[in-house]
Amino acid sequence: MSRTNQVLDSSYEAIPQRIEWKTVLRILGFLRHNSKSKKTHISMTCNLGYKRCVQYLNWLEIMNLIRKDIGKDGSHLISVNECGIELVLKFSK
């Protein structure tokens, strides 16, 4: 019997099923002080698994709270935009 490689549906894995607001604020707070960070650095610093971090970053991009830019080496550089900064400032008080 030959095995075939299964391809996961990327749309199912794109965003988390349940949003933890503490995690959202932790990511946005980190990005507020460390703009233009890579996904791996964000996941390690915010104490998230890489897959979960990417899901949150995709959700944050859909909600227009972060911006993804392409670096010189082709990697994604994540930075928080004005809406994300306002959200962090509002809930950090």
pTM of the predicted model as reported, rounded to 2 decimal places:
0.81
Calpha distance 19→21 (Å, rounded):
6
Residue 5, judged by CB atoms within 10 A of its CB (0-12, 13-18, 19+), counts as: exposed
8 A C-beta contact, residue 31 and residue 38: no
* Structural domain contains residue 80: yes
H helical segments located in 1-93: 10-13, 21-33, 39-45, 50-62, 82-91
Region for residue 68 given its phi and psi (left: phi exceeds 0; alpha: psi -120 to 50; beta: otherwise): beta
Within a domain: residue 5? no
Distance, CA of 34 to CA of 30 (rounded, Å): 6
For each of the chain's 93 residues, which pLDDT tens digit applies?
444 443 333 444 577 888 899 999 999 999 999 989 999 999 999 999 999 999 999 999 999 999 999 988 988 899 999 999 999 999 877
Number of domains in the chain: 1
Domain that holds residue 62: 20-91
Q: What is the CATH number of the domain that holds 40?
A: 1.10.10.10
For residue 15, being part of any structural domain is answered with no
